[in-house]
């Protein structure tokens, strides 16, 4: 379980193809507490398991399903990624409940400055906008955000200068794909109402 509050903007050091999946060698700058073998970490909002760790570098394995549903399959050496360690009992929950189970990706279709802030609009499969409401929560590349507007196949967010500076969202360009995790509470409500 995560909060969607990104702890570090890290880097993909190396990508190793591995049968139907891949291994990502990742670097967490200024890592204060070393990663433990088997620890869960959110990489661009995707919950992955640490399989090797040494200092500021650690390795995760990414399977075929994760490559299919996320933007991790397009990451190359040098690319930036968001990191968040899993919650500990007693930690503050500053964002919202984020499982690290990415549902799909969305494409950035509009970006414009609004003073120091930035407005971003994304296109997404309409299946997922059913789970979104204006002023509700969403995780975009693992960042807990508030939805501004929701259309049939679009949604928008506003980013403060801090988020722009310390996450991948400050660098995302028109046409780029981002990982999306819909609010888990909305998923449960939909299943209870529709029975599927």
Q: What is the pLDDT of residues 181-194, one digit of tens each?
A: 998 877 777 778 88
Same domain as 184, residue 109: yes
Q: What is the pLDDT of residue 196?
A: 61
Assigned domain for 132 exists: yes
Q: What is the pLDDT of residues 100-129, one digit of tens each?
A: 999 999 999 999 999 999 999 999 999 999
DSSP H helices in 82-183: 126-129, 161-166
Assigned domain for 94 exists: no
Question: Phi first, then psi: what are they for 158, rounded to 5°?
Answer: -120, 140
Q: What is the pLDDT of residues 150-173, one digit of tens each?
A: 999 999 999 999 999 999 999 999
Does position 85 have pLDDT exceeding 90, yes or no?
yes
Same domain as 69, residue 16: yes
Same domain as 123, residue 45: no
Which CATH number do you get for residue 140?
Answer: 2.40.30.20
Question: Which residue, 28, 55, 85, sits at the end of a domain?
Answer: 85
Question: Which residue, 25, 56, 85, sits at the end of a domain?
Answer: 85
Same domain as 189, residue 108: yes
Q: What is the pLDDT of residues 12-42, one digit of tens each?
A: 999 999 999 999 999 999 998 999 999 999 9
Mean pLDDT of 132-143: 96
For residue 27, give its domain range: 8-85
d(CA 174, CA 121): 10
């Amino acid at each position: 379980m995560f909060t969607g509050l990104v702890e570090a903007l890290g880097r993909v050091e190396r990508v190793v193809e591995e049968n139907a999946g891949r291994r990502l060698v990742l670097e967490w700058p200024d890592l204060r507490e070393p990663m433990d073998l088997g620890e869960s970490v959110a990489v661009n909002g995707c919950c992955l398991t640490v399989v090797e760790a040494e200092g500021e570098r650690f390795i995760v394995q990414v399977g075929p399903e994760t490559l299919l549903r996320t933007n991790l399959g397009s990451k190359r050496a040098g690319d930036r990624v968001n990191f968040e360690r899993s919650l500990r009992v007693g930690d503050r929950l500053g964002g919202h409940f984020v499982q690290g189970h990415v549902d799909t990706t969305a494409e950035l279709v509009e970006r414009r400055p609004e003073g120091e802030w930035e407005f971003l609009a994304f296109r997404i499969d309409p299946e997922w906008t059913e789970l979104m409401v204006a002023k509700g929560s969403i995780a975009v590349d693992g960042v807990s955000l508030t939805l501004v507007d929701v259309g049939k196949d679009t949604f928008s967010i506003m980013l403060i200068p801090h988020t722009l500076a310390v996450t991948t969202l400050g660098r995302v360009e028109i046409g780029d794909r981002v990982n999306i995790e819909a609010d888990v509470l909305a998923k449960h409500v939909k299943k209870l109402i529709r029975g599927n």
